[in-house]
Structure 1
């Protein structure tokens, strides 16, 4: 198994960039398309544990659309073979001293790279 094949990394980076754009633009439809459409998909957020794509969709629909912009401070992507990758970022929201962290586990499915598990948390100031 090859770790960090440049072509695979480029694909995962592109999908991550699409996710980031959809997130800060609150494009719920695009966000949904980037997640695995399965009851097994997980998203653990700063204040919620979401199990299944329906719970994730419901959360996104109810979430306020304001204040979503963020600055990515660190970004680390590791690809394992051609079909599995993990992306981790550290981010900061404008006007906040604390840092946030996000992890996305991605798998290449027949219809493209999908988030199968995600985690978001905040560090103290």
Structure 2
């Protein structure tokens, strides 16, 4: 016959093992670590390539990378999203080829699990 302590200890081990398994099947954990404008920030007009570097510190999976171009008051003038497949602990550079609207003063890039 099992003691209460043995049953509770076994239950705790089962719970911890189950939680460890859940972390292994969790999704991506992406973060934007850099942006670069082809030709420099002063070339933010017309057809331009903008490069967004994303670091995935989570499991492999699809990641949505969003680029927003803003005017001087923070109004979004252009909003584009690309979905990319990322491996676990992978760093990837995503290229946006955009027609930058007149009045663009800044850009913002974000990444999230798809």
Higher relative contact order (CA closer than 8 Å, sequence separation 6+): 2
| Structure ID, larger Rg | 2
Higher helix share: 1
Higher strand share: 2
For normalisation by structure 2, the TM-score amounts to 0.29
For normalisation by structure 1, the TM-score amounts to 0.27
